[in-house]
Amino acid sequence: MDGEELTEHETALYDRQIRVWGADAQRRLSKSHILVSGLKGTVIEFCKNIVLAGVGSVTLNDDRVVTEELLAANFLIPHDENVYAGKSLAELCCHSLKDFNPMVRVSVQKGDLSSFSVDFIEKFDAVVVSCCSLSTKKLVNEKCRKVSKRIAFYTVDCRDSCGEIFVDLQNYVYSKKEDAEMIECRLEYSSFEEAIAIPWRSLPRRVSKLYLAMRVIERFEELESRNPGDTSIADLPNVQKLRKELCEAHSLSESMIPDALLERLLASTTEFPPVCAIIGGVLGQEVIKAISGKGDPLKNFFFFDSMDGKGIIEDISKVKAEG
């Protein structure tokens, strides 16, 4: 970990993955620092993945106390009140995550995500947020973009048996081998705010319905000042109203955002463990790619819906819409 070469233990432990991405990438991973906020099932899966991969450090932020619902898809915390009473999610997860790989520093950062300063955020190479409001997402994303060093920013949200990942790597340059030659690739990402501001009519014609549905519900939660994820089927009529308004404003047919989909997303507050594993896996891979500089990162949204089983990448970027 300190020094340039991987230790003998690291080489033995990471043998199988070094065969995938190489020793250089492994070294870079071991020096990276990740901030993670919002520790529900999907994010727990993600944390497991990056700890196993051997990142330098993982800082956890989630002051919520444990509830039955929060434990639903969480394999880090035993269902034992004696163990979890009085402790925050972050504290409990930290304890268990350390176990997966003693070479990774796992720690807790208390406080409200929206209050973290730019100085604090600058310590990290990647920031992953979940269970946070639209305004917090935008805020944190902006802070990541303010610093001169590139900080990769990700949001992830799962509702019912669907999941959404957003990626912002700002201006990302990486090299890869194509036809035995090393070529340089450049990608320009939009911030979350920029991406969702793109008029719906400018989006690809067959854009994932999940994208649109998530935006409606996101907006709904913002307008109602709800905690993220705090919705129910009772909200459907009001959400449908909002959908109507938004679709009119975007000149989009309401049929693009089916009732059935909205119902699913509103009604289900508990996560579906298989989807957590899938989304947490894809997200883990994305962060590893960005940190190691190896592999084509996804740009810029990823959607999964277990109903049709497709895992789809949508490119909803400022540059593209204007081009």
Partner 1 sequence: MASKQQLSAIKGSKVLMVGAGGIGCELLKTLALSGFPDIHIIDMDTIEVSNLNRQFLFRQSHVGQSKAKVARDAVLKFRPDISITSYHANVKDHEFNVDFFKQFNVVLNGLDNLDARRHVNRLCLAACVPLVESGTTGFLGQVTVHVKGRTECYECQPKPAPKTYPVCTITSTPSKFVHCVVWAKDLLFAKLFGDKNQENDLNVHSKDGSSSSKHAEDVFERQEEENIEQYGKRIYDHVFGYNIELALSNEETWRNRNKPRPIYVKDVFSSELASQNGNLDKSSNGDTPSLSAMASLGLKNPQDLWSLKENSKVFLEALKLFFSKREKEIGNLSFDKDDQLAVEFVTAAANIRASSFGIPLHSLFEAKGIAGNIVHAVATTNAVIAGLIVIEAIKVLQHDIKNYRMTYCLEHPSRKMLLMPVEPFEPNKSCYVCSETPLDLEINTHCSKLRDVVDKIVKAKLGMNLPMIMHGPALLYEVGDDLGEAEVANYAANLEKVLSELPAPVMGGTILTVEDLQQELKCSINIKHREEFDEEKEPDGMVLSGWTQPRAAEKNGKTAVDSEVSTSSASEAVPLETEDDDDLQIIPTITGKKRKLSDISNETKNKRKAEELDSKNDVVMLDDENSDMSKKKRQQ
**Degrees to nearest 5, angle at CA 172 with 169 and 177:** 125
Those residues whose C-beta lies under 8 Å from the C-beta of residue 122, and which sit 6 or more positions away, are: 147, 149, 151
Is 304 a residue that touches partner 1 (CB under 8 A)?
A: yes
Pick 281 or 293: Cβ nearer partner 1:
281
- Burial of 125 per CB tally in 10 Å (0-12, 13-18, 19+): buried
The alpha carbon of 13 is separated from its chain's Cα centroid by a whole number of angstroms, namely 27
Q: Which is nearer to partner 1, 140 or 265 (CB)?
A: 265
Q: Judged by CB under 8 A, which of 109, 133, 170, 285 binds partner 1?
A: 285
Nearest distance, CB of residue 222 and partner 1, angstroms: 23
Neighbouring C-beta atoms of residue 93, cutoff 10 Å: 26
Chain positions 153 to 212 lying near partner 1, rule: CB under 8 A, are 160-161
Q: CA-CA distance, 270 to 73, in Å (whole number)? A: 8
Stretch that binds partner 1, among 8-16, 105-113, 146-154, 251-259 (CB under 8 A): 8-16
Question: To which H or E segment does residue 312 belong?
Answer: strand 310-314
Helix (H) or strand (E) holding 245: helix 236-249
Of 102 and 199, which CB lies nearer to partner 1 in the complex structure? Answer: 102
Residue 287 corresponds to which amino acid?
A: V
Distance in Å, CB of 79 to partner 1, minimum = 7
Closest approach of Cβ 286 to partner 1, in Å?
9
**Are the C-beta atoms of residues 279 and 159 closer than 8 Å to each other?**
no
Smallest gap, in angstroms, from Cβ of residue 53 to partner 1? Answer: 7
Smallest gap from Cβ 206 to partner 1, in A, equals 9
From CA 279, how far away is CA 188, in angstroms rounded? 23
Applying CB under 8 A, which part among 87-95, 115-123, 147-155, 295-303 lies near partner 1? 295-303
Interacting residues with partner 1 (CB under 8 A): 5, 11-20, 23, 41, 45, 48-49, 52-54, 72-79, 99-100, 102, 160-161, 268-278, 280-282, 284-285, 288, 295-296, 298, 302, 304, 306, 308-314
